[in-house]
Structure 1
């Protein structure tokens, strides 16, 4: 590691940070050395990139630093320790009044051995939705739920929070309130528009007995459908479809993103539809897409 030098040590308040870790947080000497090592490493990198003090550090600079570590072949656990150390360092600077805002606030640590999300194939999705029995009283509701979860990539919490005013089936849009209260507009495809429209016309008026709280999806008693209710609905149709994979509501969201990318959608558009604050979260689906492409190559190329 390049020694940042005494001038940089002073400019980046590294000595006071060491005192803070030892005297105020009471950390062990080994932990202090680890935190200080990461802060020094970043300070040297920041200066090499033209940031002469913590006040000139941006979130993008922090991202560039952690990306560089990953490109050097460092383990995800090592990069994660760097992120945790830098978060502690910048929180210290904010508390001490050196900085007004924390540029590391949105910095995410990589997950070691992060598994690829489970997805259903297009035929499995068709089998799942096709398993809804037309003669079942709940068929319009259940089909609408499955079509929205898969067709719009909604989180189950987002689905359950939907109110009538959030749906514009004529324009084919749904307004979704995601994490942190952030709103986004997501296109609603023809299949989902048809299924949800049928539910709103044929089933919901019968279910609504004044206890709906304005929610779109209701249970048999007329109250807002619960998270567990959605799980039970999904599990019932998964079993009817004969799907042996473990399927959760989030599996349909994963399938939505994966099938879009396989069909040629760009990553930024998928990020917007999923409501991810950081595109690095969406990038996990590019790994799924590459896995799909490798399978296609093996299956269809004469030298695969």
Structure 2
């Protein structure tokens, strides 16, 4: 007697699924599972509530279209596994369509600062909405770089600053790298550019307060106690405003009288462990009896525009002639660490930088201040020699 063999049914790599929406309709998307990896393609096609015969017929036609797209995707996957690369699909896909797809993927993953990608979509729609993936080569990239540098104007009708151009080009290059991984593009032409063809990032200019100016602020009354506490606290530990806004009492740890911050940076999603000096601890608000571990440390901090407005008034009152925003406190901390002799690696870790090259900016600032100090001595002796 032969044993019954279980019939194995080959699973389709693409399945049609729907997501219910608030208005009662359902959004169609494809669930694609290939080589152990799952991805989703939202089709922007909908199954509507069948209130009458006309809607039922429309739903039937939509479903047929969805099934046709599904069949096409299965053919593309089969051809790819067989080593047959289909050119027609990516030749028809526009760059604008790919950016929309990539934007949706990043948004679902919860990637921060996805709004920059949204800006790139608007820019590409203006430069060449009909540009197809098959059109993107080195010549196209060089043309786009020239256009965004010399022709495109931002919201205020002015050319973009160099740093903004670099940021936008970086975002577009990231999207094209993703297109290569998704096999919508053979290669990213930005990777083919020579050093002379690339847009250079401008030298970063960091505004910061000197130790004497920090002392001036300490001695000057601020109309908002929490803003003063938060800003000076950041001057002594380097936390960004985004991290201050989410800092909870559970993030501040005390062991044997030594305080430390253990939290995750909002900007980079990387954990940081920063020991706090006594000067930093001094500017922490008093913890109230009803505050639990989840209570925000600087819960009474105003909105960002209000905070920066108060800072501006406070700085002017202290007689400091500098354009100050909250982020200046972070630059002040970095410069202060280098000034008092902390090495580059230690300062890098204290600030939570992923790359020590970012921290080197503060070393350059300190070096320039040393040169200024030496030059001041030279000028002083020159004046004395002139009077002799």
Aligned to 1:3: none
Separation of aligned partners in 1, 2:182 and 2:137:
18
Other structure's SS at 1:283 match: helix
Aligned to 1:72: none
- 1:84-114 per-residue CA deviation (whole Å, 9 max, x = no partner) reads 7864664343112999xxxx9xxxx875433
Aligned to 1:252: 329
The alignment covers a number of residue pairs equal to: 229
Distance 1:176 1:147, change over 3 A: farther
Please identify which structure carries the higher helix content: 1
Q: Structure 2: any 5+ residue segments left out of the alignment?
A: 1-84, 95-130, 143-161, 192-197, 383-388
Distance 1:301 1:35, change over 3 A: farther
Aligned to 1:151: 236
Q: 1:294 aligns with which of 342, 347, 371?
A: 371
Tell me which moved more, 241-250 or 23-32.
Answer: 23-32
Separation of aligned partners in 1, 2:91 and 2:377:
61
1:251 CA drift (Å): 0.9
- 8 Å contact kept, 2:274–2:350: yes
Other structure's SS at 1:296 match: helix
Q: 1:269 aligns with which of 346, 355, 370?
A: 346
Separation of aligned partners in 2, 1:213 and 1:89:
41
Please identify which structure carries the higher strand content: 2
- 1:173-197 per-residue CA deviation (whole Å, 9 max, x = no partner) reads 112321243221112111121232x
1:158 CA drift (Å): 0.7
1:272 CA drift (Å): 1.7
- 8 Å contact kept, 2:166–2:200: no
1:91 aligns with 2:178: yes
Give TM-score, length-normalised by structure 1.
0.59
Other structure's SS at 1:186 match: strand
1:32 aligns with 2:137: yes
Other structure's SS at 2:180 match: helix
RMSD of aligned Cα (Å)? 4.3
Give TM-score, length-normalised by structure 2.
0.48
Separation of aligned partners in 2, 1:158 and 1:36:
37
**Highest Rg: 1 or 2?**
2
- 1:97-144 per-residue CA deviation (whole Å, 9 max, x = no partner) reads 999xxxx9xxxx8754334111111111110122137xx8x64x4443
Other structure's SS at 2:328 match: helix
Q: 2:297 aligns with which of 216, 239, 255?
A: 216
Separation of aligned partners in 2, 1:213 and 1:174:
14
- 8 Å contact kept, 1:149–1:155: yes
Other structure's SS at 1:200 match: coil
**Structure 2 matches for 1:1-304, cutoff 5 A?**
24-25=93-94, 26=131, 32-34=137-139, 87=174, 90-96=177-183, 112-132=201-221, 139=225, 141-169=226-254, 170-178=257-265, 179-196=267-284, 199-200=285-286, 204=288, 214-219=295-300, 225-301=302-378
Distance 1:89 1:249, change over 3 A: closer
1:200 CA drift (Å): 1.0
Distance 1:298 1:165, change over 3 A: same
